[in-house]
Chains A and B, each alone.
Chain A
Amino acid sequence: MSEEPVVSLKAIGKHFGEGATRVDALRDIALDVFPGTVIGLRGPSGSGKSTLLNVIGCITEPNSGSMWLNGELVYDDKWLRSDLRGLRLEKIGFIFQSHNLLPFLNAWENVAIARILAGATKAQARARALELLDYLGVSHRKDAMPGQLSGGEAQRIAIARAMANDPRIILADEPTAALDSQRAGIVMDLMRKVAEERRTAVIVVTHDEKIFNRFDHIFALRDGMLEAPAAKAA
């Protein structure tokens, strides 16, 4: 690939506790994720998947190594940017296992809030939200409250929110865990569409074997170490 990686990790380490209670959650992690690719992270519970996602999402500070986001060195044995919140807002989109839509906002407001937080006016944010809902095929549910949405619809709204600020990378934590096979397939298709059409890198943490064949690469984590990518399933 000739493009610069969107995410580049070099020798990332993360441990919790010290001495006898020390647990190495991540050990010497090296990973490059390129624009337009959909990467899977799998592994048993406690293998470090969520910790890795939190490190890439600038939520958890690693203990060692270096990390680049969109070509910018953001971690080199310490955070190099004080404004991690702004970094997340501008460059990273999040999709959660249980959609995490704000229950007091309707569908379009849930998408628009991310734009508003980035400084857009309400009108600009609304226009962007409606465009994304249309793009993801849920514009007819724009005024519905989260409690009125099906699991698949809610997850699509969550994807729209993750895309609201045109992030360079989308981090998804078990996005299909609560969906049946058909809806899980639709959600993965949408993420693929977003990755290819908008050149966004997508990293998905999953246990869901039925979607393993939807990734460009699947990395397995075991005891905090990243194993070589598995061959893409047929």
Chain B
Amino acid sequence: MNLALKDIRHNLGRFLLTCLGLSLLLGIVLAMIGIYRGLILESLGLARAANAHVWVVEGGTRGPFAEASRLPGDTREAIAAQWGVAAAGAVAYQNVEAQHRGAIKRMLVVGAEIGRPGEAPQIVAGRPILRSRYEAIADRRAGLALGEQVKLGRDTFTVVGHTENLVASGGDPVVYITLRDAQKLQFDLTPAATRREAARTQAAGTAAAGGSTDTVNAVLVRLLPGVDAEAFAAGIVRWKQLGALTQSQQEAVLSRSVIERARQQIGMFTSLLMIVSTVIIGLIVYTMTIDKKKSIATLKLIGAPDRRIVGLIVQQALAMGVIGFAAGAVLINLTHGYFPRRLVLEPTDAMVLSGIVLVVCLLASGLGVRAALKIDPASALAG
């Protein structure tokens, strides 16, 4: 006869309500982990989508995702001419706020060359960019329909294709345009005084990189099979004015520099939630134990061993944790599509969290167990 189960059935409504509250709390914990996973995936998504082996960036910088990186536009040709290079493509990145259907949308605009590394990957609807000007491929999260026109800077672009789940580390949807359009967009968005200075130096025939509009943020290199990316990158770094990162180094930079604080923040918040969950489970189990004080005293008086009493409390705490966690997991699985940032729910995370929840329940039940063991059997005789 399972006393824990009998007691739960006797107070089913209250128990389920408690589990519901706990499930919301554990659901939030799961969501936080999912947000963290999503953050990593989204942050690395853009770098991975480029499908490059080496990122050539401005010398002394760690690439466009960590800090400003500007290269002369002809760097691509110089890199493409190196031994071992299968393909090279220049890219430019620009954060843009665009008016769309009366609302301001923030996007990361990526300028890439048609048919070269860096162009939009995995188009899920529509077609790739075919014309050299004024076509765009937008991530679905941008809310731009196929064929719809959107004004970026001073020009209007037609959306011809869609990507999916391609956003910047800040969560802004990515919009691909051609490199030429992106360079113009960067120039258009530059402050007026800087534009004037650039135009003057161009008119004077000065090819200084600082005054030219033909700049890119990185050159993405795809290597021939068998060519060592690290060795290639080391060779590029010797050029002094250039820096080079392999794909794994680029991802590490993104993970460390860009999302490390977010990871710490989310980790801290998740830890606090787990502590709060522990305290709440502990208090609930303690309250449930005190509610059963008379029953526990009676059980002890008629000869129930301590392990039976402990079992009653621990089993209820575990049941609460298991039901609360399962309900929380179902809740988050049903609602994760409504979150503004991507939630990535991985089975291993769920399994680890369920294990932690069980440990938390065991710890939390300690308070109730202590209270139960202190109950004097003689108190059953008191009126």
Q: Chain A: residues with CB nearer than 8 A to chain B?
A: 50, 53-54, 57, 59-60, 85-86, 88-90, 94, 96-98, 100, 102-105, 109, 112-114, 116-118, 122, 125, 145, 161, 173-174, 177
Contact = CB atoms under 8 A, between A and B. Distances in A.
A94 B308 CA distance: 19
Interface stretch (B6-14, B186-194, B198-206): B6-14
27 contacts: A54-B378, A57-B301, A85-B303, A86-B303, A89-B303, A90-B303, A94-B380, A96-B380, A96-B381, A97-B381, A100-B298, A102-B295, A102-B298, A103-B295, A104-B3, A104-B10, A104-B295, A105-B1, A105-B3, A109-B1, A114-B302, A114-B303, A117-B299, A117-B302, A117-B304, A122-B1, A161-B302
A90 B381 CA distance: 19
What 5 pairs between A and B have smallest CB-CB spacing? A89-B303, A104-B10, A104-B7, A100-B298, A104-B6
Interface in B294-338: 294-295, 298-305, 308
B301 A59 contact: yes
A57 B378 CA distance: 9
Contacts of A57: 301
Contacts of A97: 381, 383
B289 to A, nearest CB: 14
The SS class assigned to the B binding surface is helix
A173 B297 CA distance: 15
A59 B378 contact: yes
Contacts of A112: 1
A157 to B, nearest CB: 13
A179 to B, nearest CB: 14
A100 B1 contact: no
Contacts of B302: 88-89, 94, 113-114, 117, 161
B111 interface: no
A81 to B, nearest CB: 13
Contact of B381 (A50, A89, A105): A50
A60 B380 CA distance: 13
Nearest to B11: A104
Contacts of A109: 1, 6
Contacts of B299: 102, 113, 117
Q: How large is the interface on B (under 10, 10 to 19, 20 to 34, 35 or more residues)?
A: 20 to 34
Interface in B330-383: 377-378, 380-381, 383
Interface of B: 1, 3, 6-7, 9-11, 294-295, 298-305, 308, 377-378, 380-381, 383
Nearest to B301: A94
Contacts of B10: 103-104, 145
Contact of A85 (B295, B305, B381): B305
A182 B300 CA distance: 32
A26 B10 CA distance: 41
A174 B381 CA distance: 9
A117 B378 contact: no
B157 to A, nearest CB: 68
Contacts of A114: 302-303
A54 B378 CA distance: 7
Given A104-B6, A104-B9, A104-B10, A117 B295 contact: no
B135 to A, nearest CB: 70
A96 B298 contact: yes
A121 B278 CA distance: 36
A145 B6 CA distance: 12
Nearest to A164: B302
Contacts of A173: 381
Contact of A117 (B303, B377, B381): B303
Contact of B383 (A86, A161, A174): A174
A118 to B, nearest CB: 7
B308 A117 contact: yes
